[in-house]
Amino acid sequence: MENENNEFNSFTKYGPLFATILIVVSMHIWICSNDPIRFLHGLVTPSIIIPMLLYMLIALIFGYCIGIIPTFITQQIFYKLIKNNLAEQTQGQVLYKGFLAGMIWSPLVLFSIFDEKWLMITAFFVFVVVIPSAMLCAYIEWRKSRNFQLSKLKNEDKRLK
The contacts of residue 50 (CB under 8 Å, 6+ apart) are none
pTM above 0.85, yes or no: no
How many CA atoms lie less than 13 Å away from 105 in the CB half-sphere?
A: 27
Residue span of the structural domain in which 66 resides: 2-160
Mean pLDDT of 35-59: 83
Mean pLDDT of 118-141: 91
Give CA–CA dist 29/119, Å, rounded: 20
* Mean pLDDT, the chain, integer: 85
Q: Which residue has the higher pLDDT, 113 or 140?
A: 140
CA-CA-CA-CA torsion for 123, 124, 126, 129, nearest 10 degrees? 170
Give CA–CA dist 13/119, Å, rounded: 29
Max distance between CA atoms of the chain, in angstroms, equals 67
Give CA–CA dist 134/99, Å, rounded: 7
Tally of structural domains, the chain: 1
First-last CA distance in the chain = 27
Residue 89: which pLDDT band, with cuts at 50, 70 and 90? Answer: confident
Task: Please name the amino acid found at residue 85.
Answer: N
Are 78 and 101 contacting, i.e. CB atoms less than 8 angstroms apart? yes
Q: Which residue has the higher pLDDT, 16 or 87?
A: 16
User: Residue 94's pLDDT is what?
Assistant: 92
